[in-house]
Chains A and B, each alone.
Chain A
Amino acid sequence: AIQMTQSPSSLSASVGDRVTITCRASEGIRNDLCWYQQKPGKAPKLLVYAASSLPSGVPSRFSGSGFGIDFTLTISSLQPEDFATYYCLQDYNYPYTFGQGTKLEIK
């Protein structure tokens, strides 16, 4: 199975900061990568699919980039509602696999 390694595993930041989370695949996955946000006790919410596409309703401060092995999720200006845990997911081949998560906390 493809391993997805996220970094950092946790991150402290302030409202208004620019934040970047990275995800590295153990082998090339083209752009078959998405990013999810999850808040405690809630289902995940899709933020980015196909590495850089945003579903309708996702704020433009979120952006994704990358191809092949290395991917990033950037939040341009943190808002209070962005403090959550973020996961990457590869849907290049089976089994689909998630990263271990990045917990974004308020500094």
Chain B
Amino acid sequence: QVQLVQSGAEVKKPGASVKVSCKASGYIFTSHLIHWVRQAPGQSLEWMGWINADNGNTKYSQSFQGRVTITRDTSASTAYMELSSLRSEDTAVYFCSRDLVGVHVSWGQGTLVTVSS
């Protein structure tokens, strides 16, 4: 069955960077986009961007003003989301998702990133 397994919780200081991984299994990794979505405590969901797992093309939300980078390693069937220049407002659960709409959507379990001095 399709599974997306994310890396564990992180605690970072303001100004640092964090890199979250999302390992896919149960399907052909290069056949789907991987999206990243985050959710601050008690808040709605926020789309961050996607990567085409086949060719590595990316699309990002301008809300992150160049702070987010999404990459993938096809040999490991893993996507990565790196967020730099962290601030307290970046404290959130970060999710990866295979696709976001349509019949093939699957989500990772989420990764809590806490930004605190």
Contact = CB atoms under 8 A, between A and B. Distances in A.
Interface in A43-68: 43-46, 49-50, 55-56
Contacts of B57: none
A94 B107 contact: no
Interface of A: 1, 32, 34, 36, 38, 43-46, 49-50, 55-56, 87, 89, 91, 94-101
B47 to A, nearest CB: 4
Interface of B: 37, 44-47, 59, 61-63, 95, 97, 100-103, 105, 107-110
Contacts of A50: 101
Contacts of A87: 44-45
Contacts of B61: 94-96
A46 B106 CA distance: 9
